[in-house]
Amino acid sequence: MLGPVRRLGALAVARIEGLGRMTVFLGQVGRAMLRPPVRIGYVVRAVYDSGVLSIALICASGATVGLVLGLQLHNTLSRFGAEESLGTAVGLSLIRELGPVLTGLLVTGRAGSAATAEIGSMKASEQLDGLRMMAIDPIHFVVMPRALGLAIVMPLLSALFIFFGIFGAYLIGVEVLGLDAGSYLSRLENAVDFREDVLQSLVKASVFGILLGWIATWRGYACEPHAVGVSRATTSTVVTASVCILLADYVLTALWGV
Amino acid sequence: MSGTAKLRPLPGEFNPLVIRAEAEVAHVELCDVDLAFGRRVVFEGLTCRFPRGRISVIMGGSGLGKSTILRMIGGLQPPDRGRVLVSGQDTVGLGESAMAQVRRKLGMLFQNGALLDSMTVFENVALPLREHTRLCADEIAHQVHDRLQAVGLPDVDDLLPGELSGGMLRRAAFARAIVMAPEILLCDEPFSGLDPPNVSRIEVLLQHLNRALGLTLIVTSHHMATSLRMAEQLLLLQDRSVVSGAPAELAASRESAIAEFIGEDGAEFLARHLESSPQGSKP
């Protein structure tokens, strides 16, 4: 009779314990960022792996989203005779929402899962233990550069995504559907406010980057040290980080006072 | 391993090992250690000591906890209960930074090498020197090449671990384990996967490190001939106990489990080895 209740309780305790360990881990990563030596070379490499290697994906995705957005919004706005507002609608939706969120999801799938798999494989092959035995802290040497790398690249990639999205919508609206280029760009410029829109976009992307860096490195660091464990951790990173990014997006949007 | 596992003397009225071991200073000591993974009890009341400057070889069947003993000594696997003393310092419960200080005295060769995949062999071996010393690049390169030469890998600087054979990988890992000249070297199956010339090379190197530098060596091995030849203390893990003694003492044991593990070949090998040895036995 009490069995299911007991199991439920044990599950809840395990979840809370896991959250506690994850929070301690975040603190350790934060401390590692402040502790010498500054592993600038490893951070640059992580930025390259997570950011530079994602550029093609982000540009292509941004342009595609822009093309679709241009078509859809033009279709909708033309029903109200407001197709000249295409620049405004595209700019605001990309800068405030679609840019940071879609970039977050894309980077999660490409670079977040790779970071988890890499750290998990290092754990499974005892490379992290090897570092410990050399008196080198694996959080400082392996985890911190990757977490920081993800946090750094997210706002940059988000900006790139937005740029290519606006460019894609411009191609559809101006070059294909015949809107006036000056009108498209001036409406876009007039509609976008730095504090309300651009800053909000940057803050969101930065928060998503920190969340992804935290989740991806933790899942790899805490995974079971075998092939199946690494595979589970990688899947878990994609699912958990995607859900967290969407939740955080709602919270940030609400807090920003929309 | 379940049940009580304590260092116990060999059957017989007189056991010179116990007297010698008591007289020697323990460099590493496990005291009354319990460890279980879930419901599987690995150690219960394990007590053993590894004398300073000696070569101790841990033998026993698979899954009895040979590697786990090394991991406990290195602070990678905390015991559920008991003490692990390294140079007299209890390492159980130490924080990571305090443990890092203890680990500077230790070197460890992992069973699968544990070299960093993303770094070349040179960078792997140089890593501890770059992290913990202020040596210039030339001096680091000199030391790295010296160690790689010692393990028979002179031309592998720019290769990644994935480009090495299993034996080369282990030798590169060995070079990394000794590059900081540790006081205590933990070797997990150092001879597995090596061809006979390289087994001899590593054996000679281990003995040289032990004799020339006074290194305390704790080795796990299934390689009977090499273990019997180089060990000054053998620890034989059994299902419910740990038996410790000099190789000759264990080989002469009439206890069936010990005799079965060492086997006739091992006993004969040891008899021949002792006959050919100038001292007749190890110091």
ipTM of the complex: 0.83
Nearest CA in chain B to A129: B76
Q: How far apart are CA B282 and CA A238, in angstroms?
A: 59
Tell me what pLDDT residue B1 has. Answer: 39
Of the pLDDT bands very low, low, confident and very high (cuts 50, 70, 90), residue B279 is very low
Tell me what pLDDT residue B194 has. Answer: 81
Rounded (10°) angle between helices A113-124 and A200-221: 20
Comparison of pLDDT for B237 and B6, the residue scoring more: B237
* Cα of A33 to nearest chain B Cα, Å: 16
Nearest CA in chain B to A132: B100
Can you give the residue range of the structural domain that contains B5?
A: 1-105+182-198+217-283
| Interface residues from chain B to A (CB-CB < 8 Å) | 71, 74-76, 96, 99-101, 103-104, 106-108, 110-112, 114-117, 127-128, 131-132, 176, 180
Residues of A in Cβ contact (< 8 Å) with B101? 135
Comparison of pLDDT for B139 and B39, the residue scoring more: B139
Burial of A178 (0-12, 13-18, 19+ CB in 10 A): exposed
- B106: three-class secondary structure by DSSP: strand
Number of domains in chain B: 1
Q: How far apart are CA A210 and CA A216, in angstroms?
A: 10
pTM above 0.80, yes or no: yes
Residues of A in Cβ contact (< 8 Å) with B114? 125-127, 129-130
CATH number at residue B279: 3.40.50.300
- Domain residues of chain A, as ranges? 21-255
A135 contacts chain B (CB < 8 A): yes
B241-252 average pLDDT score: 79
A132 contacts chain B (CB < 8 A): yes
Q: Is the pLDDT of residue A190 over 60?
A: yes
Of the pLDDT bands very low, low, confident and very high (cuts 50, 70, 90), residue B9 is very low
B53-72 average pLDDT score: 91
Interchain pair A129, B132: CB under 8 A: no
Tell me the percentage of chain A whose pLDDT exceeds 70. 99
B242 located within any domain:
yes
B169 located within any domain:
no
Asked if A205 and A248 touch (Cβ cutoff 8 Å), the reply is: no
pLDDT digits (tens, 9 = 90+) for B79-104: 999 999 999 999 999 998 899 999 99
* Cα of A157 to nearest chain B Cα, Å: 25
Q: Is the pLDDT of residue B202 over 90?
A: no
B14-19 average pLDDT score: 42
- B37: three-class secondary structure by DSSP: strand
If you search the block for the tokens 């464990």, which residue do you land on?
A: A229
Of the pLDDT bands very low, low, confident and very high (cuts 50, 70, 90), residue B265 is low
A229-244 average pLDDT score: 97
B117 located within any domain:
no
B9 located within any domain:
yes
B55 located within any domain:
yes
Comparison of pLDDT for B13 and A185, the residue scoring more: A185
Alpha helix (H) residue ranges in chain A:
3-34, 40-50, 55-79, 86-93, 99-107, 113-124, 127-133, 138, 144-170, 181-191, 200-221, 227-255
B165 located within any domain:
no
Mean pLDDT (chain B) is 83
Interchain pair B76, A137: CB under 8 A: no
Residue A49: how many other CB atoms lie within 10 Å: 19
Range scoring the smallest mean pLDDT among A129-143, A197-211, B204-218: B204-218
Interchain pair A126, B110: CB under 8 A: yes
Angle at B276 between CA B270 and CA B279, to 5 degrees: 95
- Best mutation target, A133, A139, A144, to test chain B (most B CBs within 10 A): A133
Residues of A in Cβ contact (< 8 Å) with B131? 134-136
Task: Pick B114's closest partner by Cβ from A129, A136, A137.
Answer: A129
A133 contacts chain B (CB < 8 A): yes
Mind giving me the DSSP string for B234-266? EEEE-SS-EEEE-HHHHHT---HHHHHHHHHHH
A130 contacts chain B (CB < 8 A): yes
Angle at A152 between CA A108 and CA B123, to 5 degrees: 90
Structure tokens at B239: 């299902």
Residue A240: how many other CB atoms lie within 10 Å: 18
Interchain pair B131, A125: CB under 8 A: no
* Cα of A125 to nearest chain B Cα, Å: 6
CA atoms within 13 A on the CB side of A204: 35
Tell me what pLDDT residue B211 has. Answer: 87
A224 contacts chain B (CB < 8 A): no
Interchain pair B116, A137: CB under 8 A: no
Of A84-88, A149-153, B243-247, B279-283, which one has max mean pLDDT? A149-153
Task: Pick A135's closest partner by Cβ from B100, B116, B117.
Answer: B100
Q: How far apart are CA B193 and CA B283, in angstroms?
A: 30
pLDDT digits (tens, 9 = 90+) for A105-137: 999 999 999 999 999 999 999 999 999 999 999
* Cα of B225 to nearest chain A Cα, Å: 28
Of the pLDDT bands very low, low, confident and very high (cuts 50, 70, 90), residue B3 is very low
